[in-house]
Amino acid sequence: GNSVTQMEGPVTLSEEAFLTINCTYTATGYPSLFWYVQYPGEGLQLLLKATKADDKGSNKGFEATYRKETTSFHLEKGSVQVSDSAVYFCARTILGGGAQKLVFGQGTRLTINP
């Protein structure tokens, strides 16, 4: 099937720590991959994306590389800030019949302490 698996949360780090949130996807078709972020009380917003193997998406200091060989799209940031506290969702596309659908992982809650 088409699914996305994220590392279990919650994740708690100190400010300036290195962040990795793991994400793997089922190797069905040639999906585009996304990371969305949800700040408290808000809807999801796109953080970064990659559309083909070896692409690297980056934004706001976050990076993720589309690894076809390991079917992974891990999110990384070298030095996190308190303002990065949010829930992060990994997602992949499913295309078929003209429809575009996103399948989301279960989300990882990140808390950054000062």
Partner 1 sequence: EAQVTQNPRYLITVTGKKLTVTCSQNMNHEYMSWYRQDPGLGLRQIYYSMNVEVTDKGDVPEGYKVSRKEKRNFPLILESPSPNQTSLYFCASSLGPRGGGASELFFGSGTQLSVL
Binding mask 58-87 for partner 1 (x = CB under 8 A): ------------------------------
Taking the complex as a whole, the smallest distance from the CB of residue 50 to partner 1 amounts, in Å, to: 8
Residue 79: closest CA among 66, 92, 60, 93: 60
Residue corresponding to tokens 């992949």: 92
From CA 81, how far away is CA 24, in angstroms rounded? 25
**Which CB sits closer to partner 1, 74 or 92?**
92
Task: Out of 12, 15, 46, 68, name the contact with partner 1 by CB under 8 A.
Answer: 46
Taking the complex as a whole, the smallest distance from the CB of residue 49 to partner 1 amounts, in Å, to: 6
Q: Is 21 in the site for partner 1 (CB under 8 A)?
A: no
Tell me the β-bridge partners of 35.
Answer: 48, 90
From CA 71, how far away is CA 23, in angstroms rounded? 9
C-alpha R_g of the chain? 14
From CA 64, how far away is CA 53, in angstroms rounded? 11
Q: Is 53 in the site for partner 1 (CB under 8 A)?
A: no
Q: Which residues bind partner 1 (CB under 8 A)?
A: 32, 34, 36, 41-46, 49, 51, 89, 93, 95, 98-102, 104-107
